[in-house]
């Protein structure tokens, strides 16, 4: 009995020893929390420079570079300090020569990026020219008493004007990103770029969701837009182009599409499923693209640390 008990104890000792060895083998070396005190100054300057360009469209002045370099250093490059710098670039209304303010420059930058995404970067001058042509048409319609054409041209003019309004309405918070994206595809320029309903449906999916529609989605959207036929898409019913656009911008996939866009702009890649999941709930609540941008831009991947 004593010999058997000794063998059992010896076996347990061996098992525990081997288990201990395996635990040691599973320890990942150099897995300590990152220490940013050794980050080279040039890397921090690159991060500041890149943040300025991406958010307000220009490089920092020397005084701005010195200020934020010292600020980030004083705060050990913490994520909180990075977020604060980015927040100031998005929201600070202090007057700055040439920019009016960071707040103004940021929203001008976003307006330009929206137009690049949807309208091939069309200039405001061209939009105003189209409005001028329509103003002339509206005057003719009035003189000729052609009230059907009058109503049509007034609506078409408003669609162009809404694109121009995106800058100020997004800046003052009157329009959130869903409304801005709606206006960016509901206008004559977008119709001209995507010449017919076939192209319009494909382009709207690609621009909003970064994918093309399934066959079922395509034909539902096509007949809704082309013939004003009642159709169901994304489990919602609609019967015209306006309904179609509203349905697209009310989907979770629209939110995912804007997170994908933010990642493409910041780090030139698509987000993982987990990265989208981490952001989409809060984004759905507040439609705050600024917050999405900051959460990407405070990362070491974006910063290059």
100-103-107 Cα angle (round to 5): 105
The predicted structure's pLDDT at residue 182: 98
The predicted structure's pLDDT at residue 99: 79
Return d(Cα 246, Cα 186) in angstroms, integer: 11
208: nearest Cα among 234, 229, 226: 234
The predicted structure's pLDDT at residue 101: 97
The predicted structure's pLDDT at residue 35: 75
The predicted structure's pLDDT at residue 98: 78
The predicted structure's pLDDT at residue 44: 98
Q: Is 98 exposed, middle or buried (0-12, 13-18, 19+ CB in 10 A)?
A: exposed
Indicate the SS3 state at residue 238. strand
The predicted structure's pLDDT at residue 37: 79
Quick one: DSSP state of residue 78?
A: -
Q: Is 237 left (phi over 0), alpha (psi -120 to 50) or beta?
A: beta
Full-model pTM: 0.86
User: 195 with 189: CB under 8 angstroms?
Assistant: no
The residue ranges of the chain whose pLDDT is under 50 are: 1-31
The predicted structure's pLDDT at residue 17: 45
Indicate the SS3 state at residue 100. strand
């Amino acid at each position: 009995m004593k010999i058997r008990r000794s063998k059992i104890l010896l076996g347990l000792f061996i098992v525990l020893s081997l288990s201990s060895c395996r635990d040691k083998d599973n320890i990942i070396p150099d897995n300590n929390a990152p220490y940013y005190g050794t980050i080279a100054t040039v890397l921090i300057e690159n991060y500041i420079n890149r943040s300025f360009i991406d958010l307000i469209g220009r490089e920092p002045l020397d005084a701005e570079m010195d200020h934020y370099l010292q600020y980030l250093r004083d705060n050990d490059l913490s994520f909180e300090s990075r977020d604060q710098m980015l927040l100031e670039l998005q929201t600070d209304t202090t007057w700055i020569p040439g920019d009016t303010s960071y707040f103004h420059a940021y929203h001008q930058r976003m307006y330009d990026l929206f137009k690049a995404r949807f309208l091939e970067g069309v200039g405001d001058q061209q939009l105003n020219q189209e409005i001028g042509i329509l103003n002339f048409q509206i005057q003719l319609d009035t003189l000729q008493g052609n009230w059907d054409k009058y109503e049509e041209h007034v609506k078409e003019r408003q669609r162009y004007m809404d694109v121009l309004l995106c800058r100020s309405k997004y800046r003052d918070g009157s329009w959130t990103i869903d409304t801005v994206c709606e206006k960016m595809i509901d206008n004559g320029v977008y119709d001209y770029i995507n010449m017919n309903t076939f192209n319009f449906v494909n382009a709207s999916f690609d621009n909003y969701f970064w994918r093309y529609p399934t066959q079922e989605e395509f034909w539902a959207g096509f007949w809704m837009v082309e013939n004003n036929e009642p159709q169901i898409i994304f489990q919602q019913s609609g019967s015209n182009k306006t309904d179609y656009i509203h349905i697209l911008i009310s989907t979770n996939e629209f939110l995912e599409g804007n997170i994908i866009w933010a990642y493409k702009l910041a780090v030139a890649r698509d987000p993982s499923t987990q990265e989208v999941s981490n952001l989409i709930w809060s984004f759905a609540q507040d439609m705050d693209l600024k917050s999405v941008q900051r959460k990407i831009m405070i990362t070491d991947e974006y910063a290059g640390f």
